A and B are shown apart, each in its own frame.
Chain A
């Protein structure tokens, strides 16, 4: 069933949702009155029958989700995704705010290109924050105009997709970024050790004859980045942590230096490399999906607070990019629309994490990393909210995907917890 997006005109009453406020860690059942997309009142609201309302009995109302790591492919690859289709995919997944990675064509490495993204997404129903590239052309050698990009609206810097191999460049970029109080996000994979590995190195890659990308290709660069952050006093955010060793290094560093944050993806939490036995190219992703030991370490890392947040690394690719042999297929998978259902299933249903804790991973934690406003459930604020059914078991269906690309490894997977409405920038989206 296609998602519906409507302008909120006048008053809209959200009747009796369970309101979970992840900032103040409270849970109440109250009504919420929206007027022209703003929160007018939260409380017990007696309203006449003529008012527009949504019966939210049994639904959870909380902050709209925030994803620090998406690829919307604009400019350059409108066949994979556009700002519009990306925002629709975000709304369908309960996201009201996303940070777009700069590995587009051309890469977002100048204030003009940051402005292009800001201007192009002003009218979109989701808040889109561009991340600028750390180095010019994402070439990994010269640092880009970070200051001018910040002035134009960049919220962080990353050469995502292209790890910064040169330790000196990484050090200088971290040092330079200290003026701006924004995180540097380095896709941590040592190119030499990765050695064109197509999947996680282990017994499964040995059986499949696919070249292996070992844990150490990631963890050794995570270790380098952590030490450089400590040395320089800069802010480092580690994206898509995939290995047990990286979790350990981040944990160790957090004990002595606290400008470190880290994210994990839903697919690294949900799957292990055994999912690759059919050579399904939708499982080809960098860093690769690891073995069960790393999967447990990621889950434990979330429970222990070592991992700060969930980010989807939403990476659309066309069927043409994926319907080929495993070595030639593009890396990446879409993740916005399946995110809640995956994360709720793994962390809450299977691993007994509290729902409040899970919600924080998608709301206040990522917002805090980027310095976004976190006090959303307040009268007078623009409504940036999600309503979801916590109990709903559902099957992720290819035909329901709103993203332009359908490269999801979750197609036909049984998920738990479903977004029903997303309220953002004056619209309400209904799944």
Chain B
């Protein structure tokens, strides 16, 4: 029984439901390996991909997931919309819903935007990233990739490296990984790691060498260029020196270190090319798992319920 109407946040999301999403995602991954990669699960459902912020891979990943499930999809991006004409978020959302749709996949630059959306419309909502708040589907695909690699998540040492303060990927990963029983350490410049964050059940360590030594896997966050130049990070070369996952750092270990990155990568800044392209990197596997995870999420939210006759 998967009793959720929306997927907005992984905070307080039950462990068994995360596990169910991951398990179902493995089934869909098998579909993706077939010559005909399509199932009829969401036939007749209409999903709008509402993207108020630029995104290539997340949007394509969702769109593919929807098409593989036979849903009808419409893409809406802010650059082509009436938002430029000054229409409010509320009016845009209500106009789209008036066309009778079942679900909205939304990316929005403002933290909490899905909570406002929930007040404006009745459709089901999947959060594809809301500002610096959360990106739950990314965390699901990250956890799926970890489970695929290690056969488990519990008790693994997982490090998240980079700009924690501004990272929705970090927040969703923290909630998900802590719920699943992993040990989580955050590593990044102290001015980009909020001081209260250890209250979420994670460790903080500013020394990347110690963190790499400790970790079974590292999830390396993209350093956004716009963070530089406003005094948060002095330069990309200094960042690489202090927090970059370099080939030297990786190869200093005797055991394998699994390398993850949500993309897009800044090669030579947070991650060296030799690391990104190494055998230990599962970055492209994450991309494929992203499609499978999103199929699983869409199926469990929109499709599976009708069988119980429970439409909320």
> Which B62-90 residues have a C-beta within 8 angstroms of A?
88-90
Within 8 Å by CB of A206, from B110, B130, B194, lies: B194
Known: A202-B196, A209-B131. A325 touches B168 (CB 8 A): no
Contact partners of B120 in chain A: CB under 8 A: 323
> Which B231-290 residues have a C-beta within 8 angstroms of A?
none
Contact between chains at B113 and A325 (CB < 8 Å): yes
**CA A207 – CA B109 in complex, angstroms?**
16
Contact between chains at B89 and A207 (CB < 8 Å): no
Name the distance in Å between B111's Cβ and chain A's nearest Cβ.
Answer: 4
Contact between chains at A324 and B131 (CB < 8 Å): no
Contact partners of A203 in chain B: CB under 8 A: 196, 199
Contact partners of B197 in chain A: CB under 8 A: 206
Contact partners of A212 in chain B: CB under 8 A: 194
**CA A326 – CA B89 in complex, angstroms?**
11
Nearest to B112 among chain A residues (CB) is A279
Contact partners of A328 in chain B: CB under 8 A: 89, 110
Task: Please classify how large the interface on chain A is, using the bins under 10, 10 to 19, 20 to 34, 35 or more.
Answer: 20 to 34
Name the distance in Å between B259's Cβ and chain A's nearest Cβ.
Answer: 26
The verdict on A320 contacting chain B, using a C-beta distance below 8 Å, is: yes
The verdict on A327 contacting chain B, using a C-beta distance below 8 Å, is: yes
The verdict on B108 contacting chain A, using a C-beta distance below 8 Å, is: yes
Within 8 Å by CB of B112, from A202, A210, A320, lies: A210
Nearest to A276 among chain B residues (CB) is B112
Contact partners of A281 in chain B: CB under 8 A: 116
Contact between chains at B196 and A209 (CB < 8 Å): no
Nearest to A202 among chain B residues (CB) is B196
The verdict on B29 contacting chain A, using a C-beta distance below 8 Å, is: no
Task: Please classify how large the interface on chain B is, using the bins under 10, 10 to 19, 20 to 34, 35 or more.
Answer: 20 to 34
> Which B108-144 residues have a C-beta within 8 angstroms of A?
108-113, 115-116, 119-120, 130-134
Contact partners of A278 in chain B: CB under 8 A: 115
Name the distance in Å between A59's Cβ and chain B's nearest Cβ.
Answer: 39
Name the distance in Å between B109's Cβ and chain A's nearest Cβ.
Answer: 8
The verdict on B228 contacting chain A, using a C-beta distance below 8 Å, is: no
Contact between chains at B199 and A209 (CB < 8 Å): no
Contact between chains at A208 and B111 (CB < 8 Å): yes
Contact between chains at A209 and B88 (CB < 8 Å): no
**Per-residue contact bits, chain A 178-190, to B (CB 8 Å; 1 contact, 0 not):** 0000000000000
Contact between chains at B116 and A209 (CB < 8 Å): no
Contact between chains at A209 and B115 (CB < 8 Å): no
Contact partners of A320 in chain B: CB under 8 A: 88
Q: Is the interface of A mostly helix, strand, loop or mixed?
A: loop
Contact between chains at B112 and A325 (CB < 8 Å): yes
**CA A323 – CA B131 in complex, angstroms?**
18
The verdict on B171 contacting chain A, using a C-beta distance below 8 Å, is: yes
The verdict on B11 contacting chain A, using a C-beta distance below 8 Å, is: yes
Contact between chains at A326 and B116 (CB < 8 Å): yes
**CA A209 – CA B11 in complex, angstroms?**
12
Name the distance in Å between A212's Cβ and chain B's nearest Cβ.
Answer: 8
The verdict on B200 contacting chain A, using a C-beta distance below 8 Å, is: yes
**CA A203 – CA B195 in complex, angstroms?**
8
**CA A396 – CA B11 in complex, angstroms?**
31
**Per-residue contact bits, chain A 250-288, to B (CB 8 Å; 1 contact, 0 not):** 000000000000000000000000000011010000000
Contact partners of B194 in chain A: CB under 8 A: 205-206, 212
Name the distance in Å between B233's Cβ and chain A's nearest Cβ.
Answer: 16
Contact partners of A205 in chain B: CB under 8 A: 194
Contact between chains at A327 and B88 (CB < 8 Å): no
Name the distance in Å between A94's Cβ and chain B's nearest Cβ.
Answer: 32
Name the distance in Å between A301's Cβ and chain B's nearest Cβ.
Answer: 24
Contact between chains at B130 and A209 (CB < 8 Å): yes
Nearest to A195 among chain B residues (CB) is B230
Contact between chains at B112 and A208 (CB < 8 Å): yes
**Per-residue contact bits, chain B 187-201, to A (CB 8 Å; 1 contact, 0 not):** 000000010110110
Interface centre among B89, B112, B119, B120 (most CB of A within 10 A): B112
A residues sitting closer than 8 Å to B (CB atoms) are 202-203, 205-212, 278-279, 281, 320, 323-328
A-B contact pairs, 19 of them (CB 8 A): A203-B196, A206-B196, A206-B199, A209-B112, A209-B133, A209-B168, A210-B132, A279-B111, A281-B116, A320-B88, A323-B119, A324-B89, A324-B116, A325-B108, A325-B113, A326-B111, A326-B112, A326-B116, A328-B89
* Ranked 4 nearest A-B pairs via Cβ: A209-B133, A279-B112, A325-B110, A209-B111
Given contacts A206-B197, A210-B112, A323-B119, 5 further A-B contacts (CB under 8 A): A206-B194, A208-B133, A326-B116, A327-B111, A327-B131
